Amino acid sequence: MPTQETIYALSSGGLPSGVAIVRISGPRALEVAADMAGTLPEPRKAALRWLRGRVGEPIDQALVLTFPEPASFTGEDCVEFHVHGGRAVVNALLDELAQHDGMRLAEAGEFSRRAFDNGKLDLVEIEGLADLIAAETEMQRRLAMAQAAGRQSALYSEWAATLTRIRALIEAELDFPDEEDVPGAINDRVWRELAALADGIRHHLHGSASAEIVRDGFRIAIVGPPNAGKSSLLNTLAKRDVAIVTEIAGTTRDVLGIDLDLGGYLVHLMDTAGIRETEDVVEREGVRRALQSIEQADLVLVLTSGPEVGTVLPAGKRVVTVQSKSDLLDASLPRDERRLYLSSVTREGFDSLTKRISDEVAAATGVPGGFGPARRRQADLLRLTLADMEIGLNGDVMSLELRAEALRRAAHSLGKITGRVDVEDLLDVIFSEFCIGK
């Protein structure tokens, strides 16, 4: 249902800036823009105009673009003013817009909400747009583009169409068993098609962990005993002094973190307190947090400056053992090929470490067939969809009505991913393909 309010807001980045973009959307957008800019340019063509207040005083010279409905981001009449990005300029423009009747400042996300309400974007595309704006690395950009550009939505829509067709066959069997134009009883082909669809969703879900790593970052915990060189390693990788480095054991009391861009992936590096038995209350809390970081990490770098690795890790953790302070080792002694040897003084081994981390990230995210669902909301709804589909597949002892109900729930969960849930789709398939009541 179209809204009667016209909204406006600064749509570009923080001020001051070279250029600032103020967007207007709603039924009064073109009218108010014409009041301020005079003759408006042709749709989607930029033109230079003076923007003036209601008493005629100039606000700024701006590029003006118009996007009449429905061919706009929100599906409503939209206008963009590209003005100089000074705070005084933008504030004067926003204050002038506020003086017009029926105009108000947009709430957070309201332009995107109107785009959804008007069918311009679905929920997956909107989430992808938010991720695209927040993307810091190349792989985050690629993942966000897969959503914002509609590739994920197209996949989910294809699945929804397949499930609707399967449900239509089942509903036709239930509701119109005596009609001659209903194609046969429910046969094995329908259940084979449903099984293939379930396999596709199951495979897609396998990529959810990879997508989560790309979106939220690959977590690496640097652990080991006190004075093993953990903080020196962090500082060297960060190329700045993040952590305090001293010869006093137990200097690091908390978890310190930095973010790196390695091969297009976001990597969170966490320097932790040295793990040891201690009576110091503060250091003991640091050790507890170090152990917690190990639990949360995707990869653990275990540092040791001696021959033994004393840190006990949970089963199943991906681990790289690092021999630190390699410049102090006896060069005549053989080296363990299972370890990486590092020196923060000579920088020995840092290229090998960076490559090893990149390989670990690639292994964790390299799921055939592309990324899975990028958000937990999407993954949770897909799991609900799959669970109800499996009820329908494994319900040989159940009545057809109960199996149909399970598939109805599955279709509802699948539709909620994109926000497109409509029972009319099912009726359209039934009556268009089977000609019921002829």
CA 236 to chain CA mean position, Å: 30
Q: What is the CATH number of the domain that holds 50?
A: 3.30.1360.120
Of 338, 365, 392, which closes a domain? Answer: 365
Report residue 91's pLDDT band, with 50, 70 and 90 as the boundaries.
Answer: very high
pLDDT at residue 216 above 60?
Answer: yes
**343 lies in the same domain as 400:** no
Which tokens in the block code for residue 58?
């100039």
Domain membership flag for residue 313: yes
For the ranges 213-227, 304-318, 371-385, the lowest mean pLDDT is seen at: 304-318
Domain membership flag for residue 99: yes
- Phi (first) and psi of residue 34, to 5 degrees: -65, -35
Separation between Cα atoms, residue 272 and residue 231, nearest integer Å: 8
Looking at per-residue pLDDT, the higher value among 188 and 133 belongs to 133
Model pLDDT for residues 41-78, shown as the tens digit of each residue: 999 999 999 999 988 899 999 999 999 999 999 999 99
Say if pTM beats, i.e. exceeds, 0.85: no
Domain membership flag for residue 133: no
Q: What is the CATH number of the domain that holds 167?
A: 1.20.120.430
**296 lies in the same domain as 266:** yes
**286 lies in the same domain as 157:** no
Looking at per-residue pLDDT, the higher value among 229 and 318 belongs to 318
**15 lies in the same domain as 155:** no
Which tokens in the block code for residue 404?
């149909």
pLDDT at residue 3 above 70?
Answer: no
Total domain count, the chain? 3
Domain membership flag for residue 212: no
CA 413 to chain CA mean position, Å: 19
The count of other CB atoms within 10 Å of the CB of residue 426 is 17
**Helix, strand, coil shares of the chain as percentages rounded to 5?**
45, 15, 40
- Which strands, in side-by-side order, build the sheet including 340-341? 256-262, 265-271, 218-223, 299-304, 319-323, 340-341
What rounded mean pLDDT belongs to the chain? 84
pLDDT at residue 32 above 90?
Answer: yes
- What lies within 8 Å, CB to CB, of 347 at 6+ separation is 236
- Check residue 46 and give its pLDDT: 97
- Check residue 246 and give its pLDDT: 45
Share of the chain above pLDDT 70, in %: 84
Report residue 296's pLDDT band, with 50, 70 and 90 as the boundaries.
Answer: confident
For the ranges 123-132, 135-144, 198-207, 370-379, the lowest mean pLDDT is seen at: 370-379
Domain membership flag for residue 192: yes
Which tokens in the block code for residue 103?
């105009």
**224 lies in the same domain as 346:** yes
- Check residue 436 and give its pLDDT: 38
**278 lies in the same domain as 345:** yes
Report residue 308's pLDDT band, with 50, 70 and 90 as the boundaries.
Answer: low
Model pLDDT for residues 112-164, shown as the tens digit of each residue: 999 999 999 999 999 999 899 889 999 899 889 988 888 899 999 999 999 99
Share of the chain above pLDDT 90, in %: 42
Looking at per-residue pLDDT, the higher value among 396 and 129 belongs to 129
**281 lies in the same domain as 327:** yes
**382 lies in the same domain as 353:** no
Cis peptide before 27 (omega within 30 of 0): no
**299 lies in the same domain as 429:** no
Domain membership flag for residue 135: no
What is the average pLDDT across 373-401?
A: 89
- The residue range of the domain holding 178 is 151-207+373-434
**58 lies in the same domain as 84:** yes
Domain membership flag for residue 144: no
pLDDT at residue 192 above 70?
Answer: yes
Of 365, 384, 405, which closes a domain? Answer: 365
- Residue in this structure with the two tokens 């400056």, named with its chain if needed: 305
Of 117-126, 225-234, 367-376, the range with the highest mean pLDDT is 117-126
Q: DSSP assignment of 229-271, as one string?
A: SHHHHHHHHHTS--S---SSTT---S-EEEEEEETTEEEEEEE
